[in-house]
Structure 1
Amino acid sequence: MTHTKTAIALVIAIVAVLCVAGCTGEQPSTGGETEVEVIYSATGPMPMLLSTDQIDGYMAWQPFVAVATVSGIGKVVSYSQDLPPAGMWTDHTCCALTAREDQIQENADLVNAFSALMIAADDYIIENPDRAAEISADWLYGGDDMTFGDVTVSSVEVLKESIPTLKFTTEPSEAWITSNDNFVVALRDLGYITGSLKDADDAEVNSKLFDFGPYEQAKAMIANGTIATPADAGTITVGYLPSDHHAPLFVAIKEWEYFEKTYGIALKPASEGSGAVDNAELFVNGVKVANVKLVKGEGGSQLMTLAAQDTLQIALVGTPPAITAIDKGTPIKILHPLQTEGSGLVVSADAPADDWQSFIAWAEQRAAEGKPLKIASPPKGSIQDVQLRAALGDSNVVVKEAQ
């Protein structure tokens, strides 16, 4: 089957399941239906909500899936790539490298070099997952324990379980592109796309969303063993989110000497020490080419607002916020993925559910008792929300949004 036919088939499928799942709002109950109540929440509180029986489960990105399993408060019903409809979410889109269009045009060598560093960092993580976990735990939590109410768990152990469940890849594969096409459809259905992407066909959508030029240049430079030295760009600002999905950035900075020796490129922290880094210097072939300010965002939408204001020139961000930002006219491009997959549905440790089928049976039982399951999810339109709704819809379960 050609890419076009595959994309069309998957788009039709996702439209169908999202309509069943009620992506545009709560569906009215007609009696006798199986309902699951979805509660929108920030990811941070989810483990505490689960451990105190305020919810029955949650759909979240890593490392919050691993928090549940390592602490013993929960278990995984399904990782995101295995959710229904069967095969739809394999290698699904998640976080990506984005850059403002003016940077791509005016500082092409710098953007290419940064892309090359992310490609190299992904390779490092694949080869050194435990070290990547230690670095991420240090960056995100200072290497300290993570505490959620009465639950305390080692951040290093959590990250060591989390990192291997992510697919660190920078290849803009056919499956990844198709996954982004599917999310465009989902965001349209939610009413979140109202601008330039609303009526665009697949070719127009992809033209507006992507610029794979920096990726191709970066891959070629790595293969040839030489990174082109950019002109001095002064100061650039790079945004990221506090998640191990952005481990390539953390690794690139904390292991800067390895990348300088191996690839001739280094994102050297302005000061050594543990924890997150706020300022760094980018060197290529021993030449300092930029001061880099690092900005930790609270969410993808915030990072995209900063990119629209030119406060950020480069951002590591989930693709749905990037898609909606581009739709509204933010002058950025998605350059390539940082990783794929990396989310999961967690339920309490004593729940009578160990896989999707038993989860649905549990949902049916609870609905029949008049006590629908309460499942927490990140905001509507997020990757996790769309996937949860699609999976429930595929299993003929109605989503009821908590008021």
Structure 2
Amino acid sequence: MHKKHLLAVAGLLVVCVAMVFAAGCVSEPANTDKTPTVEILYTGAGTMPGLLATGKVDGYIIWQPFVAVGVEGDVGKVVSYSQDLPPAGMWKQHTCCAIGANSEALKNTDLTTSIVALMILGDKYINDYPEKSAELTADWLFSKQDMIYGNITVNSVAAMNASIPTIMFSSEVTDAWLASNEEFIKSQRELKLITGKLASTSAEEAKDLLYDFGPYEAATAQIAAGKLTTPAPVTTPISIGYLPSDHDAPLFVLLKDWQYFKDTYNSYLKPTTDKAGKISEAELFINGEKIVDVKFVEGSGGPQLMTLLSQNTIQYAVAGTPPYISAIDKSTGAISLKILAPIQLEGSGLVASMNSPANDWAGFVQWVTDRSAAGDNVVIADPQLGSIQDVQLKAALKDAGITVITMKQ
């Protein structure tokens, strides 16, 4: 098995479909009656593989590539990917990351349509060339260098090859995707994390606040017709925010293999310099004509990108749908935000330690039951209260009749 670096990348605020369950929202005393119980430790994504390797936790639930990091680093094994967690069928094609824009960007409909069209084509590229996409993503995130954490070393290309196939790269706006976002809103209301514009909206009212599908509809029509509409050239550069995660791979492949998109579609993002690693500047060409200079801004998290969008420091962002939902709920300024289309779905997983007997969800439930009966609860690291992973884990545990308590740090 490939060895793997315990990734210290800043966590992507990814976000998924949600239903909230009351259990597990407060700290409680240790288990004394042997009830099957999981203790949750809220912690950063980048710390999870290290905590697992040192025995501080028994497992973790998180987004990719941290799932692959645990596996490739020989410290963990996948119990279940997020889409397969119970209740049965609830998480299929659940929401995660999207391309969005602010109201200033949306004034230029043709340019926004071109950006969305390229993201759609980036998704297509990943599905057509997954191994090449893994290599390009490893190049962007790690310059193809090994990822090192303590005495564990993981090959970045191997990690991306393990991660990319477990993520559903799709830009299609479906009823299931819309429903998953609505369920997430409901869960955030129950946690009292949504208290503003979305606090009491109907599903249709929420759609009006959250989305602008005009550019997506125009982009899909143009791609189907075989040619994009050429926007008028723009003299002021635009900026696109992103997060350092393989969930943002559609953007990375557009820039890392720009020649392919030029040769195939004559519409592309050409980097101003050819180098390994991250790219900060490029030129946007549509139908061979230069349209605008583009800057790329790496964010430390979804909320930060939402702030930059609201300030018009960036005009577009690839980020989790939850940060968009939260920002739109609380927005009060003159600049508004909209989600334009998904770029990927699913892409999270539950990892258990290598020495655990759990190899699937049923085995995990039995492991929890046996450990609690012995007075020693299983401890699972979790990225954040109300995150998609938190909601999914608690839903699965409730379905299995397992109690959840929160550890005090």
Whole-Å separation in 2 of the counterparts to 1:276 and 1:34: 46
2:68 aligns to what SS in structure 1?
Answer: helix
| Structure 1 residue 307, shift from structure 2 partner | 1.2
Contact 2:87 2:395 in 1 (8 A): yes
2:391 aligns to what SS in structure 1?
Answer: helix
- Is residue 394 of structure 1 aligned with residue 395 of structure 2? no
Whole-Å separation in 2 of the counterparts to 1:397 and 1:86: 16
- Is residue 117 of structure 1 aligned with residue 122 of structure 2? no
- Equivalent positions of 1:184-195 (< 5 A) are 184-195=185-196
Whole-Å separation in 2 of the counterparts to 1:242 and 1:288: 27
Corresponding residue for 2:325? 323
Whole-Å separation in 1 of the counterparts to 2:370 and 2:22: 20
Whole-Å separation in 2 of the counterparts to 1:21 and 1:231: 54
Whole-Å separation in 2 of the counterparts to 1:397 and 1:209: 35
Whole-Å separation in 1 of the counterparts to 2:382 and 2:142: 23
Whole-Å separation in 2 of the counterparts to 1:114 and 1:317: 15
2:356 aligns to what SS in structure 1?
Answer: coil
Corresponding residue for 2:337? 332
Whole-Å separation in 1 of the counterparts to 2:406 and 2:28: 9
- Equivalent positions of 1:197-346 (< 5 A) are 197-233=198-234, 234-329=236-331, 331-346=336-351
Q: Which amino acid aligns with 1:378?
A: P
Contact 2:21 2:391 in 1 (8 A): no
Contact 1:241 1:316 in 2 (8 A): yes
Aligned mate of 1:94, from 85, 93, 96: 96
- Equivalent positions of 1:145-164 (< 5 A) are 145-164=146-165
2:344 aligns to what SS in structure 1?
Answer: coil
Contact 2:18 2:180 in 1 (8 A): no
Contact 2:258 2:270 in 1 (8 A): yes
Residues 59-114 of structure 1 deviation map (CA, whole Å, 9 limit, x = unaligned): 1111111112222211000000000111000000001111112311x111111001
| Structure 1 residue 30, shift from structure 2 partner | 8.7
Whole-Å separation in 2 of the counterparts to 1:326 and 1:370: 45
Contact 2:34 2:375 in 1 (8 A): no
Residues 24-58 of structure 1 deviation map (CA, whole Å, 9 limit, x = unaligned): 44467794432211111221121111111111101
1:257 aligns to what SS in structure 2?
Answer: helix
Q: What runs of 5+ residues in structure 1 fail to find an aligned partner?
A: 1-12
Specify which structure has the higher proportion of helix. 1
Whole-Å separation in 1 of the counterparts to 2:262 and 2:186: 42
Contact 2:95 2:181 in 1 (8 A): yes
Whole-Å separation in 2 of the counterparts to 1:176 and 1:27: 35
Whole-Å separation in 1 of the counterparts to 2:123 and 2:220: 13
| Structure 1 residue 374, shift from structure 2 partner | 1.3
- Is residue 376 of structure 1 aligned with residue 378 of structure 2? no
Corresponding residue for 2:372? 367
| TM-score, normalised via structure 2 length | 0.91
Contact 2:21 2:394 in 1 (8 A): no
Corresponding residue for 2:11? none
Whole-Å separation in 2 of the counterparts to 1:110 and 1:190: 38
2:380 aligns to what SS in structure 1?
Answer: strand
- When residues 103 and 56 of structure 1 are mapped into structure 2, their CA distance, relative to the original with a 3 A threshold, is same
- Is residue 79 of structure 1 aligned with residue 84 of structure 2? no
| Structure 1 residue 20, shift from structure 2 partner | 4.4
Q: Which amino acid aligns with 2:223?
A: I
Whole-Å separation in 1 of the counterparts to 2:38 and 2:18: 19
Corresponding pairs, count: 387
Contact 1:21 1:397 in 2 (8 A): no
- Is residue 167 of structure 1 aligned with residue 168 of structure 2? yes
Corresponding residue for 1:107? 108
Q: Which amino acid aligns with 1:230?
A: P
Corresponding residue for 2:3? none
- When residues 131 and 345 of structure 1 are mapped into structure 2, their CA distance, relative to the original with a 3 A threshold, is same
Contact 2:81 2:349 in 1 (8 A): yes
| Structure 1 residue 184, shift from structure 2 partner | 0.6
Residues 235-286 of structure 1 deviation map (CA, whole Å, 9 limit, x = unaligned): 1111111111100000000111111221221111110010011111111122
| Structure 1 residue 210, shift from structure 2 partner | 1.3
Whole-Å separation in 1 of the counterparts to 2:407 and 2:284: 46
Name the stretch that deviates more: 25-34 or 40-49. 25-34
Q: Which amino acid aligns with 2:343?
A: L
- Is residue 57 of structure 1 aligned with residue 59 of structure 2? yes
| TM-score, normalised via structure 1 length | 0.92
Contact 1:129 1:164 in 2 (8 A): yes
| Structure 1 residue 208, shift from structure 2 partner | 1.1
| Structure 1 residue 19, shift from structure 2 partner | 2.7
Contact 1:51 1:151 in 2 (8 A): no
Q: Which amino acid aligns with 1:337?
A: P
Whole-Å separation in 2 of the counterparts to 1:238 and 1:71: 32
2:307 aligns to what SS in structure 1?
Answer: helix
